[in-house]
A and B are shown apart, each in its own frame.
Chain A
Amino acid sequence: MHILNEARALLDGAGFQTTASPDQQDLIYFEDHSILGFLAVHSRVEDVLKAWEEMQDRFLKENALPLRTDPTKIWNIYSVHLTSASCPTELRSRLFAVEEDFRGTRKVARATIVTREDLANALLCLLPIQRLVSLRLEDVFGQLRQRLTTINPLLGNLLADTAAEEIAQKLMDRL
């Protein structure tokens, strides 16, 4: 999976405008009416840990002027750092600490991005709800009727207008 291409597709699908960095191959920019930021793909977790801060500062510096035009949006900047490499156990906390750093931008730092699902999970904070379900009731009464009539065809009357007394009488008479 090409992380950058898939990420662009996902973000585009979520209503973001994405642009590729003119000077960096594994970097794209994204923005919608509320959020903006960049997404970088790294080879290793160590690279993420090494580069995230410098990339963030550079982004803020490069876009300082337009960001000043909307003092609200400046609070909604995201920097996303992804790698397909798995995270060594000893680095897991450090990678997590990147996300916990509130300075400058909201950080997303994730490793082991191998599948599209991994990618979507990593970008959840930018995406609308992905797995909305509309719970509809199927023919539950038909399902129950089937079960009841298997026990005794007369028990189907439980779902009809037949009075309880009548059902009881029929059950006792016809068994």
Chain B
Amino acid sequence: MRIASVTISGFRGVRDTVQLVLPPGFAVVTGRNGSGKSTLCDAIEFAFTGTIRGGSKHKEKGENIEDYLWWRGSGEAKFKEVSVGLVAPDGSTFTVTRTPDGDTTSFGGDLESILCDGRNGVKHGTEKLCRTTIVRDEEITTISVDLAETDRFEFVRSALGTVDFSDVEEKCKKVQAQIDQRAVKLSAEYELLRKQISDLTTRISAAKTEAVLSPDVASAERVLREALGSNIDAESEIIPRAQQRVAELRVAVDNLLRVSRSWSQLQSRRQQVLSSHYLAQLDEKRLALAKLRAELSDAEKKHAIAAATVADREQGQPRLATLAQLHSQGKRLGLEAGHCPLCGSTVDVEAFDKHLQQVAQIVSQASSDLQQAIKERDDSEQAARQIRVQISVLEGEERTLSQAGSLIEEEEARLRTSAQQYGYVSSEDFRPETLAVLVEATRELMSKLERAVATLDASRQLERVARMERELVELRANCDTVEARGNRCSDALKQIKDALAAIKRTRGEIVEDQLAQLTPLIDEIYARLRPHVDWAHVGYRLRGDVRRFLSFEVGDGLNPSFLFSSGQRRAAGLAFLFAVHLSREWCKLRTLILDDPVQHVDDFRALHLAEVLASVRRNNRQIVCTVEDEPLAELLCRRLRSEAGDEGCLIQMEYESTQGVHLKSQRRISPISSNILVSA
């Protein structure tokens, strides 16, 4: 499979349309910077993969190369399209076209199936193919000599199309995750069981200690059955019933003691009530009460008189009011021409004033008398009220004293009933001594029952111990089972880890074997390029068991990455990339594309590169090579062996502001006539 044509419209530096027909042999593309040489490489990669430069992540101001795929210069691009035509050895043709809207193929199938041989298990083959088919100036060393050791190993692995067992590895990791999850569960289960065993062991130890302290079980059971009656069938009921009985007895003792204390206090009170002092006190209260009642009678009489006086005086109030008005009018009017304004009698001033003064005195006296009467009425009422209060208090005290006896008797009756409720035998003559005997007997019974319960409970502990020990055995067995399962998980995990390591190791060894096969070719191309006068051969070194590292060596273990100049590293990198390119069994595309591979390379080594490309050409490869230098382009055209049926061409690209990148010229390279010396 070779590239037959490339059509570029509105892509990268091409505004209009550039159509290149590539001959089966080679195409040397030349032009100044910006003339579209790299755009040609970009177009081929974009047509194949839909991206360029490996989908570079380089960003500036939020933009990356993807934002500049299509024409962004002045003027409008009429079309935006990249199309690559391919031709198979049998002459059949295929075209892949990409526009901003997506890709289409002329054959309606998957491009990868055209370019790659799927039998080798290569995934994402088109992208991998591009990495060793399109060799860009800036990538020559970065993807070869300058690549980190592990990345270089991975690069070689993917470029060679080695099976990477990724499906197997993924499945292995899933198995690992499953077992891991199970192991975590089992670990938690084991911890729980261990805790249960620990708790149970503690409980067994405590139960055993309790059981040892209680020897006479039969006697205890007999005591309890006697105390509780014989109507207990289930043995399991004995202890709860006994405990209930003990509780009842405890309540009875408490109550009997309270009755006893209350009875004593009551007897003391009775003695008090019957004492002469108490009776004298009662008499005293009654006398004081009689005296107060008499005082109240006097006070009420006095109040009645005062109230009558007030009423009487208040009846004269209208008259006094009239007098007061007269006095007021007379004083205001005064004498009217020697006559009294009220009665018109002739009177002199002195007599008139004297009359007014007398009226004022009468009004004043009457008012004063009324106030005095009101005060006396209120005072008498207040005194009567106070006496009533004193009487009420005294009556209460007298009642308390006189009723004390009957209250004591009522309380005695209540205490007697309470004592009977808790076992005191009914008797008219209540005796505290008998009550004390009853309390003591109840206490003794309670203690006896408690001991019996403890004894019987302890005997039950032995049974419980036995039961718990059986439970412990089961728990330990479970724990052993879980532990065994956990150990199996650990072993399985270890085996899975070994399996993963085996997958990686096998993967590495396959690459190692392939690299071993590839080494003579790398060394040959290196020798052809002759990057260094002293180090004529290059080798590689692999290290690491699971994670593999690949480094190049020249001489006695020297690393060209650090030893060589940039031009020499470039030559070494090209040797590596060409060797990988030529060895890709899985790749059906027989085209090698180089984008300006001679930068930083001197003329001597550029000549070597041309010779290497010529030898690659002889290996039935199509070469597309861009160079800026026109003499070098001519040299390449001469050395790349244009032959009949396998011809080459020289393409000149150009940039003009008015039309962007365009094709300046395309010249067929005629095959060289043979046998100059022979014919001579």
B163: chain A residues at CB < 8 Å are: 137, 140-141
**CB 8 Å contact bits of A149-167 with B (1 = contact, 0 = none):** 0011001001100001101
**CB 8 Å contact bits of B495-530 with A (1 = contact, 0 = none):** 110110011011000100010011011011101100
B677: chain A residues at CB < 8 Å are: 17, 19, 29, 31, 36, 63, 66
Q: Of residues 322 to 336 in B, which have CB atoms within 8 Å of A's CB atoms?
A: none
Contact yes or no, A164 B521, CB < 8 A: no
Contact yes or no, A158 B175, CB < 8 A: yes
**CB 8 Å contact bits of A60-76 with B (1 = contact, 0 = none):** 00010111011011011
For the complex, give the distance between the alpha carbons of A40 and B182 in Å: 78
Contact yes or no, A131 B521, CB < 8 A: yes
Contact yes or no, A34 B678, CB < 8 A: no
Number of A-B contacts (CB under 8 A): 175
Sorting the interface of chain B by its residue count into under 10, 10 to 19, 20 to 34 or 35 or more gives 35 or more
**Nearest Cβ distance between residue A21 and chain B, in whole angstroms?**
11
Residue in chain A with minimal CB distance to B514: A135
B536: chain A residues at CB < 8 Å are: 121
Contact yes or no, B171 A164, CB < 8 A: yes
Query: Contact check: which of A65, A131, A135 meets B585 at CB < 8 Å?
Result: A135
**CB 8 Å contact bits of B650-680 with A (1 = contact, 0 = none):** 0000000000000000000011111111111
Chain A contact surface mostly: helix
Contact yes or no, A152 B495, CB < 8 A: yes
Contact yes or no, A148 B502, CB < 8 A: yes
Known: A134-B583, A137-B163. A75 touches B635 (CB 8 A): yes
Residue in chain A with minimal CB distance to B176: A168
* Other A-B pairs beyond A75-B638, A135-B585, A152-B495, 15, CB < 8 Å: A31-B678, A66-B676, A70-B673, A72-B672, A76-B639, A96-B533, A124-B527, A124-B528, A129-B618, A131-B523, A134-B583, A137-B510, A168-B175, A171-B175, A172-B489
**Nearest Cβ distance between residue B311 and chain A, in whole angstroms?**
116
Known: A66-B680, A96-B533, A147-B506. A33 touches B618 (CB 8 A): no
Contact yes or no, B603 A128, CB < 8 A: no
Contact yes or no, A70 B672, CB < 8 A: yes
A132: chain B residues at CB < 8 Å are: 521, 582-583, 619
Q: Counting CB contacts under 8 A, is B488 at the interface?
A: yes
Residue in chain A with minimal CB distance to B518: A133
Residue in chain A with minimal CB distance to B160: A135
For the complex, give the distance between the alpha carbons of A152 and B604 in Å: 59
**CB 8 Å contact bits of A6-39 with B (1 = contact, 0 = none):** 0000000000010100000000010111101000
Q: Counting CB contacts under 8 A, is A1 at the interface?
A: no
A32: chain B residues at CB < 8 Å are: 674
Residue in chain B with minimal CB distance to A30: B677
**Nearest Cβ distance between residue B359 and chain A, in whole angstroms?**
130
**Nearest Cβ distance between residue B192 and chain A, in whole angstroms?**
19
**Nearest Cβ distance between residue A100 and chain B, in whole angstroms?**
5
Contact yes or no, A140 B676, CB < 8 A: no
Query: Contact check: which of B162, B524, B678 meets A137 at CB < 8 Å?
Result: B162
Q: Counting CB contacts under 8 A, is B179 at the interface?
A: yes
Residue in chain B with minimal CB distance to A125: B611
Q: Counting CB contacts under 8 A, is B178 at the interface?
A: yes
B495: chain A residues at CB < 8 Å are: 151-152, 155, 171
Q: Counting CB contacts under 8 A, is B32 at the interface?
A: no
Q: Counting CB contacts under 8 A, is A116 at the interface?
A: no
Contact yes or no, A133 B517, CB < 8 A: yes
Contact yes or no, B179 A168, CB < 8 A: yes
Q: Counting CB contacts under 8 A, is B462 at the interface?
A: no
Query: Contact check: which of A99, A127, A144, A169 meets B502 at CB < 8 Å?
Result: A144
Contact yes or no, A33 B524, CB < 8 A: no
Contact yes or no, B527 A171, CB < 8 A: no
A171: chain B residues at CB < 8 Å are: 175, 179, 492, 495-496
Contact yes or no, B521 A133, CB < 8 A: yes
Known: A128-B615, A129-B616. A66 touches B524 (CB 8 A): no
Known: A17-B675, A151-B499, A158-B171. A135 touches B583 (CB 8 A): yes
A2: chain B residues at CB < 8 Å are: none
B585: chain A residues at CB < 8 Å are: 134-136
**Nearest Cβ distance between residue A166 and chain B, in whole angstroms?**
9
**CB 8 Å contact bits of B547-587 with A (1 = contact, 0 = none):** 00000000000000000000000000000000000111100
